[in-house]
């Protein structure tokens, strides 16, 4: 009869051989490594809201990939550049990159990237208040949510999030899609939690429950502050300012929009800056702050003027 | 072909499906849990927690080194422990010993109980030893009181040592007497003889210095200067040899770059070894996942 200690020895040997044999590291060619290094660096900059640095890295990666016609890399690069352009509010640039990305995706059957392009297209459509178009981009995925969910949880949440935004845009089924969003997210993730609070606040505001709405927005704002998320801070402050506008608290609203302007200026979000400047221009008129109004209008003209790419180096008016 | 080689080099586990890996991990966990339970059971068994005991008593005069934890052994086997220490009406020590019932058959009427006090001094605890009895004799009954044979205590050993020390002292005294019996005059004569010998050696040295005798001639003759010159020439020859050695050393120095190249190759090999080590669990789990470059931004809407 085999003794137990020999069986134990064989068992431990089996465990150890599995433990010590990680797969060999795949060595990529140098040029591919360099391109991917640029891409990874760009993604990191993007995550830290350093959009212009991210763009420089993505552009370098694009040239590298084009150098050896690496279509998967080129498609990803175009998608990253499109996403960046959306973050900066440069929708023409985003649209150009998205079209180029789609062409490569279709030509080379890179179907796994299609959903990312569709989410970006829906985001752009939402920003341009073209909710029907946004819904059309999302529809194929909404009809088979489980497939999306099983593939990638983050993509699934992104699809639902845009669907909630469309619901608010269309003024229909907000609660239903908010519930779906709530079920999808990780409740301990402060980013998702803050977004959920903003949806709650938006719904409350629609029902004229301003106190609740402000309370939830303040909670969301605090979460965004803790995460040092300028985009979230700007969105929460704009929503707070909008409520104060409804309550005709012009001074309070001006404060919130000015702080939101600072946050959006920091990340060079052209589209949002223009939206805030529009609101501030009207507010300064109401508050009889003519000097500030002039500065705001001047800044708007600079931003909208063609070939004025360095608008963000100008001083922020009203602060 | 290279792909086949790579496939062979990779452990089969990395080529299996995720579901199979999950099942495998589950199986390993179950087996591990089973083993742990088995080990726990074996541990409990070794501690005789579920064993039945029978009680015998032992009487002795000193409880030095004994406690409730004291082990009882039969022929070197641990068969039980002391469960109580009491004092009888006659001021004896009464030990209550719990013995595992399945060892009862070892205890026969000729079994003897011993306790070693020296163990208490040396290892801090005593052990009660019972000798296995003859199988021909009857087994002892539960609850009997046996006399415990106590071994020599530390005091006994010290008393014995004291006697030895006294003997050593008397030997030293004898040696002292012998030394006292030595005559100082004889020693003085011996020293005087040594002084005379030293004077003679001094005279010999003076003779040599003046060049007298064969040894003096060897040292103080004119020929010695010629010998000195010869020595200088020898030194010159030695210097030439040293120069040759330095040249040889220069040749060796020129080889250093080649050696450095070899060292670089060794360093490269070491680097590869370290990289391979970094892939070995659990080291790999402690390393940051630099391989997993994120090449695309997260899918969350950028303008939300």
Same domain, B123 and B67: yes
Residues of A in contact with B301 (CB under 8 A): 86, 119-120, 122-123, 126, 158, 161-162, 165
Residue B163 lies in a domain: no
What was the pLDDT predicted at B160? 77
Residues B68 and B82 in one domain: yes
Give the separation between CA A310 and CA B295, rounded to whole angstroms.
28
- The answer to whether residues B76 and B17 belong to one domain is no
Question: What pLDDT is attached to residue A236?
Answer: 96
Q: Write out pLDDT tens, residues A56-69.
A: 999 999 999 999 99
Predicted pLDDT at A319: 58
CB contact under 8 A, B13 and A39: no
Cβ pair A152:B280 closer than 8 A: no
pLDDT of residue B1: 41
Query: Are the C-beta atoms of A58 and A80 separated by less than 8 Å?
Result: yes
Low-confidence stretches of chain A (pLDDT < 50) are: 1
Minimal CA separation from A316 to chain B, in Å: 21
Burial of A149 (0-12, 13-18, 19+ CB in 10 A): middle
Tell me: do B105 and B15 sit in the same domain. no
Residues B277 and A17 sit within 8 Å (Cβ to Cβ)? no
Give which of A4, A7, A22 to mutate to test B binding, by max B Cβ within 10 Å: A22
From the number of C-beta atoms within 10 Å of its C-beta (0-12, 13-18, 19+), residue B113 rates as buried
Task: Report residues of chain B scoring pLDDT below 50.
Answer: 1-7
pLDDT in tens, A173-198: 899 999 999 999 998 899 999 999 99
ipTM, 2 dp: 0.77
Distances (CA, A) of A147 to A141, A144, A160: 8, 6, 13
Q: Return the H-helix or E-strand segment holding B288.
A: none
- Mutate which of A21, A65, A115, A164 to disrupt the B interface (most B C-beta within 10 Å)? A21
User: Measured between beta carbons, which residues in chain B are less than 8 angstroms from residue A44?
Assistant: 294
Residue of A nearest to B39 (CA): A4
Number of A to B CB contacts under 8 A, please give it. 103
Q: B11–A18: do the CB atoms touch at under 8 Å?
A: yes
Q: Which among A8, A47, A154 has the least Cβ separation from residue B299?
A: A154
pLDDT on residue B257: 83
A43/B296 touch (CB, cutoff 8 Å), yes or no: yes
Q: Domain boundaries in chain A?
A: 36-109, 129-184, 185-319
Any A CB within 8 A of B300 CB: yes
Same domain flag for B95 and B142: yes
The predicted structure's pLDDT at residue A198: 95
Domain count, chain B: 3
**Tokens 């591990």 identify what position?**
B32
Considering the domain boundaries, does residue B216 fall inside one?
no
pLDDT at site B2: 43
Q: Is the dihedral of CA B217, B223, B226, B230 positive or negative?
A: negative
> From the list A20, A76, A154, which residue is nearest B298 (CB)?
A154
Tokens 């909710």, residue?
Answer: A131
pLDDT in the model for residue A248: 92
Identify the domain containing residue B241 by its residue range.
Answer: 222-278
- Could you give the 3-state DSSP secondary structure of residue A277? helix
Check whether residue B90 and residue B13 sit in a common domain. Answer: no
Q: At what angle do helices A290-304 and A270-286 cross, to 10 degrees?
A: 160
Kindly report the nearest CA distance between residue B12 and chain A, in angstroms. 9
The pLDDT of residue A15: 72
For residues A161 and B300, the answer to whether their CB atoms sit within 8 Å is: yes
- Asked if A157 and B301 come within 8 Å (Cβ–Cβ), the reply is no
Omega before residue B282 within 30° of 0, cis? yes
pLDDT of residue B220: 63
- Identify whether B184 is part of a domain: no
Architecture of the A36-109 domain = Alpha Horseshoe (1.25)
In words, the CATH class of domain A185-319 is mainly alpha
- Single residue among B115, B135, B151 that ends a domain in this structure: B151
Which residues on neighbouring strands pair with residue B108, listed in sequence order? B139
The verdict on a CB contact (< 8 Å) between A23 and B14 is yes
Residues A61-98 pLDDT 10s:
999 999 999 999 999 999 999 999 998 888 899 999 99
- Cα–Cα dist A23/A109, whole Å: 29
* Number of Cα atoms under 13 Å in the Cβ half of residue B302: 35
Give the pLDDT score at B3.
Answer: 46
Residue B35 domain-assigned (yes or no): yes
| Residue B222 in tokens | 């004119």
């Amino acid at each position: 009869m085999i003794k137990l200690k020999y069986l134990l020895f064989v068992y431990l040997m089996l465990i150890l051989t599995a433990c010590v044999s990680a797969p060999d590291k795949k060595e990529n060619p140098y040029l591919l490594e360099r391109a991917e290094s640029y891409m990874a660096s760009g993604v990191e900059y993007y995550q830290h809201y350093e959009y212009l640095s991210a763009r420089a890295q993505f552009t370098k990666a694009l040239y590298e990939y084009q150098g050896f016609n690496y279509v998967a890399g080129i498609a990803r690069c175009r998608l990253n550049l499109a996403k960046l352009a959306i973050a900066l509010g440069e929708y023409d640039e985003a649209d150009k990159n998205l079209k180029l990305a789609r062409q490569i995706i279709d030509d080379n059957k890179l179907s796994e990237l299609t959903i990312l392009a569709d989410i970006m297209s829906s985001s752009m459509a939402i920003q341009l208040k073209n909710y029907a178009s946004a819904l059309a981009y999302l529809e194929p995925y909404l009809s088979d949510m489980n497939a999306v969910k099983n593939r990638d949880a983050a993509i699934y949440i992104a699809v639902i999030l845009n669907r909630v935004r469309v619901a608010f845009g269309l003024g229909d089924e907000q609660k239903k899609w908010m519930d779906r969003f709530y079920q999808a997210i990780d409740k301990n993730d402060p980013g998702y939690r803050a977004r959920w609070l903003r949806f709650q606040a938006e719904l409350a505001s629609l029902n004229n429950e301003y106190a609740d709405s402000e309370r939830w927005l303040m909670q969301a704002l605090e979460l965004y502050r803790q995460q040092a998320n300028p985009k979230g801070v700007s969105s929460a402050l704009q929503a707070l300012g909008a409520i104060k506008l409804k309550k005709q608290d012009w001074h309070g609203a001006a404060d919130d929009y000015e702080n939101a302007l600072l946050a959006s200026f920091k990340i060079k979000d052209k589209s949002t800056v223009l939206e805030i400047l529009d609101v501030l221009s009207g507010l300064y008129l109401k508050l009889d702050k003519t000097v500030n109004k002039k500065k705001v209008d001047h800044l708007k003209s600079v931003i909208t003027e063609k070939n004025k790419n360095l608008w963000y180096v100008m001083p922020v008016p009203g602060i | 072909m290279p792909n086949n080689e790579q496939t062979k080099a990779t452990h089969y586990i990395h080529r299996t499906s995720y579901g199979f890996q999950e099942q495998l991990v589950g199986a390993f966990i179950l087996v591990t849990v089973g083993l742990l339970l088995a080990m726990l059971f074996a541990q409990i068994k070794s501690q005789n927690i579920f064993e039945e005991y029978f009680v015998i008593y032992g009487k002795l005069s000193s409880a030095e080194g004994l406690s409730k934890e004291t082990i009882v052994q039969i022929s070197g086997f641990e068969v039980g422990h002391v469960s109580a220490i009491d004092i009888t009406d006659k001021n004896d020590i009464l030990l209550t010993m719990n013995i595992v019932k399945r060892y009862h058959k070892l205890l026969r009427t000729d079994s003897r109980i011993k306790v070693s006090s020296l163990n208490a001094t040396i290892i801090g605890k005593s052990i009660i030893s019972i000798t296995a009895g003859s199988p021909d004799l009857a087994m002892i009954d539960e609850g009997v009181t046996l006399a415990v044979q106590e071994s020599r205590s530390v005091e006994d050993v010290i008393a014995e040592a004291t006697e030895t020390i006294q003997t050593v002292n008397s030997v030293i005294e004898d040696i002292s007497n012998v030394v006292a019996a030595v005559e100082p005059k004889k020693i003085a004569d011996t020293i005087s003889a040594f002084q005379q010998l030293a004077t003679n050696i001094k005279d010999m040295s003076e003779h040599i210095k003046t060049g007298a005798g064969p040894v003096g001639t060897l040292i103080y003759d004119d020929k010695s200067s010629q010998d000195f010159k010869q020595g200088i020439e020898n030194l010159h020859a030695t210097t030439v040899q040293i120069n040759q050695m330095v040249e040889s050393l220069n040749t060796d120095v020129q080889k250093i770059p080649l050696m450095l190249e070899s060292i670089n190759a060794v360093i490269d090999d070491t680097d590869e070894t370290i990289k391979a080590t970094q892939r070995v669990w659990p080291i790999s789990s402690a390393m940051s996942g630099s391989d997993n470059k994120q090449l695309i931004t997260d899918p969350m809407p950028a303008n939300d």
